[in-house]
Chains A and B, each alone.
Chain A
């Protein structure tokens, strides 16, 4: 689960003193090989003492980061892709020579789909392992659980999931989209393209779908002329019987079904929709919760025709993405699919590397400050930039689900959308 820790962090702190006393210490069995040949490390990288003033796990040759996702429990289905993407990014960065001349080593901990456990492991990564950055979390609940830990021990978290917004922290970089980025462009598109006037909002019953639908409702009622919400409903997580709401949809005949259903419920919902004879090529359905990962379980033939609105699809046609998809499949197998969050997780290590190099330091405070304005032109989704509010500028795209489980991109915003985690007029 974890890479070896040789206690080199303590070593580097005292290394300078040891070097000074080297003449007086002819036999130096205590020194590691790196300390015996310091010139090699210094030739390509700045001194550890200069780039690491707060005692993080940085040595002359490597730097330790943490990966904190659930690989067991209910969330493993979603978080596995993120772990794979982060490992791929770390591999690629190491192949290019690492960060400030240091190879990235990672310590992986399992959040086990249990929020208090996430907080526990986050503390371990920060306090025991002294990780210079942590890539992890997936659900908002897990992020909320670790946030106080990261703020107390001054760590840096790169969080990959699209989420409800209403949060901003010096210690977190949000590499997924916040709610307004994902929702507004999609609603405008469906109004423009499909002439949609009436919307039926559905969601699983927890914070992300509820906040997102609230933003959607405000936008529909206040900013889209002549449009209205004809129904809004929530279902407990794990709900598997949607026949009643499908009947209601048949009765109200909305122009658009706006669905934010997650997990196993998703599968039941789309299967029953299809069985009930609702043809998604005629009935417009827009979702913000279905990526290529979910379609694996739903089955392409059950969801073909539905529209999904997010920032990344595996089928994106650009050279960055082609390289990324090829590298991902080479590392994790031909049959793996790459969803929006997986791509966002891939951005984490790269953004961190770029930030560290801009700051010229691994110190958390300097990284937090240097993050604003970091640009990553090689991102698979295309050029992205970190906003001063620690979210990403990104484009929003609409994809139509195909029989083979991929999306066909039918719309892309012309410009990057500004992240706005505290939207005025939407609360």
Chain B
């Protein structure tokens, strides 16, 4: 298939393809970070993760509408406001969910699967009733559109760069929070041994609530960012949930580093295969690869060594 092209053309295409892989990588990390905290750290199988994302997307849509109608001069920066609001909205909904539902189920992790799946159906129908069944288009400020030409053929997508930057910022923030702050230490203590953590004076209920809220809040930010690349409708969250779980489980549920490594592996495999094969076949081969590796290594790529 490459005989018709010059070397220069080929190298620039491979450059762009590499960049496409990096964008996919950032998207996967952004999707999976929130779930890595909730599923990895707390052991809650949150099937409603996609719906928390879509709440963030809707918040972004309404913020954009508000800026368009009331503050058109500041439209260029509305996205940053929207991301903060999305974090707060999804985080608040997450904390409410934890308080009403999840905290009663910590001893029954499998039941969280059913409960949160129910929650996801409820949220979808709520979005449909409140925001309408039709998808909404989020208008982006002009500077986020289009691409930067590097050479004649190589072009770099601005919103791709934006997602990459955002992913790096959030990953660094989460890493600092989990591994360098005293709150992070408490979270990890609760994860490793809830009873013991309580015995040494950690308010485990409060830690749980904020952890869950943080995970959902990050999902909200991810949803906000995805308005740039995907659809915003009541059921759009479903588009992301499978990939999200795939990344988290493949990486080894309890390790943030594992999540990142697994996102990198899956995204590069998928984007390279997609280039040489068709989209559906690429997905099939990627999934087969993941299944085989998980059969050989059921705990995922990275595992934290804990005495059980």
A241 to B136, CA, bound (A): 19
Cβ of B238 < 8 Å from any Cβ of A? yes
Nearest to B147 among chain A residues (CB) is A277
In the complex the two chains form, is B278's CB within 8 Å of A234's CB?
yes
Please report B residues at the A interface, Cβ cutoff 8 Å. 5, 9, 13, 16-17, 20, 23-24, 27, 125, 128, 133-139, 145-147, 149, 153, 155, 157-160, 226, 228-236, 238-240, 270-272, 274-275, 278-280, 282-283
A71 to B129, CA, bound (A): 10
A302 to B134, CA, bound (A): 17
In the complex the two chains form, is B134's CB within 8 Å of A243's CB?
no
A236 proximity list for chain B (CB < 8 A): 279-280, 283
B134 proximity list for chain A (CB < 8 A): 77, 80, 293, 296-297
A241 to B25, CA, bound (A): 11
Nearest first, the 5 A-B pairs at minimum CB distance are A297-B135, A299-B137, A267-B231, A243-B20, A235-B279
B155 proximity list for chain A (CB < 8 A): 276-277
In the complex the two chains form, is A239's CB within 8 Å of B279's CB?
yes
In the complex the two chains form, is A241's CB within 8 Å of B139's CB?
no
In the complex the two chains form, is B146's CB within 8 Å of A277's CB?
yes
A241 proximity list for chain B (CB < 8 A): 24, 27, 229, 270-271, 274
In the complex the two chains form, is A274's CB within 8 Å of B27's CB?
no
A302 to B270, CA, bound (A): 25
A205 proximity list for chain B (CB < 8 A): 279-280
| A2 nearest CB across to chain B (Å) | 19
A267 to B275, CA, bound (A): 21
In the complex the two chains form, is B5's CB within 8 Å of A251's CB?
yes
A77 proximity list for chain B (CB < 8 A): 133-135, 233-235
| B158 nearest CB across to chain A (Å) | 7
Cβ of A400 < 8 Å from any Cβ of B? no
| A300 nearest CB across to chain B (Å) | 8
In the complex the two chains form, is A233's CB within 8 Å of B279's CB?
yes
A301 proximity list for chain B (CB < 8 A): 139
A144 proximity list for chain B (CB < 8 A): none
Contacting residue for B13 out of A247, A271, A275, CB 8 A: A247
A391 to B238, CA, bound (A): 35
| B194 nearest CB across to chain A (Å) | 37
Please report A residues at the B interface, Cβ cutoff 8 Å. 71-74, 76-77, 80, 205, 232-236, 238-241, 243-248, 250-251, 263-268, 271-272, 274-277, 293-302
In the complex the two chains form, is B279's CB within 8 Å of A247's CB?
no
A-B interface contact total, Cβ < 8 Å: 139
| A84 nearest CB across to chain B (Å) | 11
A355 to B275, CA, bound (A): 52
In the complex the two chains form, is A275's CB within 8 Å of B280's CB?
no
| B54 nearest CB across to chain A (Å) | 11
Contacting residue for B228 out of A243, A248, A266, A271, CB 8 A: A271
In the complex the two chains form, is B27's CB within 8 Å of A296's CB?
no
A266 proximity list for chain B (CB < 8 A): 231
In the complex the two chains form, is A251's CB within 8 Å of B9's CB?
yes
B128 proximity list for chain A (CB < 8 A): 72, 76
A295 to B136, CA, bound (A): 9
User: Could you pull out 12 A-B pairs where Cβ atoms are within 8 angstroms?
Assistant: A77-B233, A240-B230, A241-B271, A243-B271, A244-B279, A275-B159, A277-B146, A277-B147, A277-B155, A297-B134, A297-B136, A298-B137
A302 proximity list for chain B (CB < 8 A): 137
In the complex the two chains form, is B145's CB within 8 Å of A275's CB?
yes
* Contacts known (A239-B279, A243-B23); A297 close to B231, Cβ less than 8 A: yes
- 15 additional A-B pairs beyond A77-B135, A240-B239, A296-B136, beta carbons within 8 Å, are A76-B128, A77-B233, A77-B234, A232-B278, A234-B278, A234-B279, A235-B280, A241-B271, A250-B153, A267-B137, A272-B157, A294-B135, A297-B232, A298-B137, A299-B139
In the complex the two chains form, is B17's CB within 8 Å of A233's CB?
no
In this complex, the member of B134, B157, B236 whose beta carbon has the largest number of chain A beta carbons within 10 angstroms is B134
B24 proximity list for chain A (CB < 8 A): 241, 243
* Contacts known (A72-B125, A233-B279); A275 close to B231, Cβ less than 8 A: no
B283 proximity list for chain A (CB < 8 A): 236, 239
A274 to B158, CA, bound (A): 11
| B144 nearest CB across to chain A (Å) | 9
Nearest to A248 among chain B residues (CB) is B275
In the complex the two chains form, is A275's CB within 8 Å of B147's CB?
yes
A27 to B236, CA, bound (A): 62
In the complex the two chains form, is A244's CB within 8 Å of B125's CB?
no
B228 proximity list for chain A (CB < 8 A): 271, 275
A238 to B242, CA, bound (A): 11
In the complex the two chains form, is B133's CB within 8 Å of A80's CB?
yes
In the complex the two chains form, is B233's CB within 8 Å of A264's CB?
yes
Contacting residue for B239 out of A80, A238, A246, A247, CB 8 A: A238
A294 to B231, CA, bound (A): 10
B229 proximity list for chain A (CB < 8 A): 240-241, 268, 271-272, 275
In this complex, the member of A246, A277, A295, A298 whose beta carbon has the largest number of chain B beta carbons within 10 angstroms is A277
B139 proximity list for chain A (CB < 8 A): 299, 301
Nearest to A233 among chain B residues (CB) is B278
In this complex, the member of B155, B231, B275 whose beta carbon has the largest number of chain A beta carbons within 10 angstroms is B231
| A181 nearest CB across to chain B (Å) | 26
B135 proximity list for chain A (CB < 8 A): 77, 264, 267, 294, 296-297
| B63 nearest CB across to chain A (Å) | 16
In the complex the two chains form, is A247's CB within 8 Å of B16's CB?
yes
Nearest to B241 among chain A residues (CB) is A238
A234 to B160, CA, bound (A): 23
| A98 nearest CB across to chain B (Å) | 30
A296 to B233, CA, bound (A): 11
In the complex the two chains form, is A264's CB within 8 Å of B231's CB?
yes
A248 to B276, CA, bound (A): 9
A246 to B274, CA, bound (A): 11
B159 proximity list for chain A (CB < 8 A): 275
| A299 nearest CB across to chain B (Å) | 3
A297 proximity list for chain B (CB < 8 A): 134-137, 231-233
A263 to B232, CA, bound (A): 11
B235 proximity list for chain A (CB < 8 A): 73-74, 77, 264
* Contacts known (A244-B20, A244-B274); A74 close to B240, Cβ less than 8 A: no
A76 proximity list for chain B (CB < 8 A): 128, 133, 234
* Contacts known (A241-B27, A264-B231); A74 close to B279, Cβ less than 8 A: no
In this complex, the member of A232, A247, A268 whose beta carbon has the largest number of chain B beta carbons within 10 angstroms is A247
In the complex the two chains form, is B20's CB within 8 Å of A250's CB?
no
B125 proximity list for chain A (CB < 8 A): 72
